[in-house]
Structures are given as C-alpha cells and as structure tokens.
C-alpha cells in the first residue's frame, strides 16, 4: 500500500492528465474524462461513487491516488456577506480564500502561494514572509471547496489572494485551465482574472498561453514611488511593464488591462499623481480600480480621505479613463484587499506567523 504522502492527488490533474492516467492503467481515455468530471463537475470526494467507471479502474485508483483538497478549518462571515475561509494544507501551512457575493455575481479570491516574497509595503501578506508555491491541486482545490460550499461554481474567479500568481506560473496556468474547462467549472475567460505585481517576462509568457483577464498592481504613477511601494518595480520598471501590458491586450482577444491602485493618504493620492497616471496609461485600453487602503496591525499607512479619493477618480474619469472606486468588503474579518495572511512558516525569517482570528 502506498503511504498517504505519496498518493497522487487527483486534483493536480487537468483533463489531459486524467485521460493519460486512465490509458496508462489499461482503460480508455473517456474513462479519464469521466473521472475528471466526477471530481470537478460533481464535487466527488470518494472514488467509490463514480459508478460509470469500471470497478477495476476504481480499485486501481484507490491503490495509488486520492482526492485531497485543502481542508477548511475556519469560516469567518462578515456583515456584508463576504466570507473568509482559512484552509489548511497537508504540511500544516494555512492559506486564505475569500468569497464575495454581489447580487447574482459570486467571486472567489484564490491564493497561489503560501505567503509572498515580493514585499509590497502596504500588504499584510508580504509581512508574513514566504514559504512555498501551491500545487495546481491546492489552487483548484480552493475553487472545489467553494463550489461545494455554494452549491454551484462561482461566476468569477480572481487570482488575487495570497502570493504572486506569475511567480508560480505553471501551476497557476494549469489550475486556471481546469477552472475554464467545460467538464469542470466553466469559468469564462473574461470572468477569470490574474492579478500580478508586474513580472514582465511572465506577462509576456502568459499572453502566449492564456486569454484570461489581466490586472496589474500599479499603485504609483512613477518609478521612484513605485520602487518604494512595489519593490519588483526595481527589476521591471514602468518602461518595461507598460509595453508588456499593452501587448497583452493587443489583437482584440482581451478587452483591457485593469490597474489596481491602492489609495494611501499623502503618498500617492494627489491630483499631480492622477495627472501622471493619465499620461502613463495613454494609448493602453484600461480600467482603473481605486482601492481605499485596508489597514492591518503594524501598518504605517493611512487610507486616503473619501473626498480625495473621489477627486482622484473624477480627474481620471475626465481624461477618459474608465475608473471605479472599489467598495471595501470584508475588512472587519481581515478579508479585504491586502489583508490576507493565513499561517506561514517563513523560510526567510524562520518564524511562524499566525493570521487574525482564533486557531481551531
């Protein structure tokens, strides 16, 4: 008998992998398709319920594989309907996934790493340090769990949880392909968004293999300020980032780039900054999301006053930039943008950081 640690996690397999596995075990490719559909479309956890698979295949799979999603150990609802799930992985690491309802629209904010190595100044996740990338199964497992909780797949998925998705490229792209598969969650490419801090070579590579929507954490309209707020800018400055993003939406396959801009009191929120951003984004199909800063313990920043955020938004809008101020959701349960922390055994600082909320 194979030990539990060495069993294949069937959530790590995309449709082609599932077909190859069935054929390798002496069965037909369509048996692999049925297996894939049972796991993702029906949310099956037990191989024994998959009655349209040959019994011999189920027995073979039970000897070498299992369906192993992250385990929900804490569910924290907020007054506005937002829910944060703390999920534990098999090695004891914890990640956070957020469900955001908005009328008939349901959005799941999915993590891609345990912690984050990019150290953005205004982000609680960055304070936790970094441990490791998530596997494709650990990424799609968050959607799997959410679908079981909600009774249906979410209408939207955003790769905006813990971690930098493009620093875990292969696993993220594979998981997003499963999200879009007709035999799985059927998330439309326009309703699946990847958010990045700006790893330029990976943006270029993403454009070659995927058509998902792109969001970029901009947060500053010039290099000196962005170097401070988003340190990856020192490696990939705006002069490299902007052309890569423009190329990503060239050709009509994707509509526009979404620029995320956290509003920090006295830091990046002046009308002069707004004018710089107008010049910066000229000629790029764009949507700008202004995000009121969400405080977290130990943060040195303050949220821009509402009137300054509105003046900033109005100036961008007058220039023709489609601009929205994002509604803060789930901040009282530390589920808002920039507040996700989980529990990370930080490989760089060698300490365990426990996120907000009681440990189970």
pLDDT digits (tens, 9 = 90+) for 4-19: 557 999 999 999 999 9
State how far Cα 20 lies from the chain centre: 28
Indicate left, alpha or beta for 338 from its phi (over 0: left) and psi (-120 to 50: alpha). Answer: left
What is the predicted pLDDT for the residue at 340?
A: 44
Is 211 tagged catalytic?
A: no
pLDDT digits (tens, 9 = 90+) for 146-169: 999 999 999 999 999 999 999 999
pLDDT digits (tens, 9 = 90+) for 267-278: 999 999 999 999
Residues with Cβ within 8 Å of residue 314, at least 6 apart in sequence: none
- Whole-number Å distance between alpha carbons of 11 and 65: 10
* Pick from 33-37, 97-101, 121-125, 163-167: least confident: 121-125
Rounded mean pLDDT, 122-145: 88
What is the predicted pLDDT for the residue at 339?
A: 42
Write a three-state SS string for the chain.
Answer: CCCHHHCEEHHHCCHHHHHHHHHHCCCCHHHHHHHHHHHHCCCCCCHHHCCCCCHHHHHHHHHHEECCCCEEEEEEECCCCCEEEEEECCCCCEEEEEEEEECCEEEEECCCEEECCCCCCCCHHHHCCEEEECCHHHHHHHHHHHHHHHCCCCCEEEECCCCCHHHHHHHHHHHHHHHHCCCCCCCCHHHEEEEECCCHHHHHHHHHHCCCEEEEECCCCCHHHHHHHCHHHHCCCHHHHHHHHHHHCCCCCCCCEEEEEEEECCCCCCHHHHHHHHHHCCCCCEEEEEEECCCCCCCCCCECCHHHHHHHHHHHHHCCCEEEECCCCCHHHCCCCCCCCCEEECCCCCCEEECCCCCC
User: Higher-confidence residue: 260 or 354?
Assistant: 260
Percent of the chain with pLDDT over 90: 77
Closest by CA to 133, choosing from 151, 156, 114, is: 114
- Whole-number Å distance between alpha carbons of 283 and 246: 8
What is the predicted pLDDT for the residue at 122?
A: 76
pTM of the entire structure? 0.88
Is 96 tagged catalytic?
A: yes
Residue 73 · residue 94 · CB < 8 Å:
yes
Confidence check: pLDDT of 144 > 90: yes
Residues in the chain: 360
Total Cβ atoms within 10 A of residue 3: 6
State how far Cα 201 lies from the chain centre: 19
Catalytic residue among 109, 123, 245, 337: 337
What is the predicted pLDDT for the residue at 356?
A: 29
Catalytic residue among 19, 96, 138, 164: 96
Whole-Å CA distances, 223 to 153, 218, 338: 40, 10, 21
Position 179 confidence tier, pLDDT thresholds 50, 70, 90: very high
What is the predicted pLDDT for the residue at 49?
A: 95
Q: What are the chain's domains?
A: 4-66 (1.10.150.530), 71-354 (3.20.20.70)
What is the predicted pLDDT for the residue at 359?
A: 27
Confidence check: pLDDT of 234 > 90: yes
Residues with Cβ within 8 Å of residue 190, at least 6 apart in sequence: 213, 255
Residue 178 · residue 136 · CB < 8 Å:
yes
Residues with Cβ within 8 Å of residue 352, at least 6 apart in sequence: 343, 344, 345, 346
């Amino acid at each position: 008998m194979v030990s539990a640690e060495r069993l294949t996690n069937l959530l790590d397999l995309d449709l082609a992998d599932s077909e190859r596995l069935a054929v390798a075990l002496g069965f037909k490719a369509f048996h692999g398709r049925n297996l894939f559909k049972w796991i993702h479309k029906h949310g099956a956890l037990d191989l024994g319920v998959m009655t349209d698979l040959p019994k011999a295949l189920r027995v073979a799979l039970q000897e070498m594989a299992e369906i192993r999603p992250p385990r929900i150990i804490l569910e924290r609802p907020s007054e506005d309907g937002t829910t944060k799930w703390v999920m534990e992985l098999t090695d004891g690491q914890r990640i956070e996934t957020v469900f955001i309802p908005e009328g008939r629209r349901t959005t799941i904010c999915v993590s891609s790493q345990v912690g984050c190595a990019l150290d953005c100044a205004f982000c609680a996740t960055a304070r936790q340090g970094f441990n490791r990338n998530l596997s494709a199964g650990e990424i799609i497992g968050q959607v799997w769990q959410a679908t079981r909780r909600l009774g249906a797949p979410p209408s939207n998925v955003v790769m905006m949880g813990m971690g930098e998705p493009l620093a875990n490229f292969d696993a993220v792209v594979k998981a997003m392909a499963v999200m879009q598969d007709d035999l799985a969650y059927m998330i439309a490419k326009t309703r699946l968004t990847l958010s990045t801090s700006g790893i330029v070579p990976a943006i270029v590579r993403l454009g070659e293999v995927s058509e998902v929507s792109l969001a970029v954490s901009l947060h500053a309209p010039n290099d000196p300020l962005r170097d401070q707020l988003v340190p990856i800018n020192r490696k990939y400055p705006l002069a490299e980032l902007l052309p890569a993003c423009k190329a990503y939406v060239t050709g009509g396959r994707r509509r526009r780039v979404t620029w995320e801009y956290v509003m920090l009191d006295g830091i990046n929120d002046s009308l002069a900054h707004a004018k710089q951003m107008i010049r910066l984004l000229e000629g790029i199909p764009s949507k700008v999301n202004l995000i009121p800063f969400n405080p977290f313990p130990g943060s040195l920043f303050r949220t821009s006053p509402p009137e300054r955020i509105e003046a900033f938004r109005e100036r961008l809008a007058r220039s023709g930039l489609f601009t929205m101020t994002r509604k803060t959701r789930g901040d009282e349960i530390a589920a808002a943008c920039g507040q996700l922390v989980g529990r990370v055994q930080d490989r760089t600082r060698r300490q365990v950081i426990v996120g907000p909320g009681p440990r189970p």
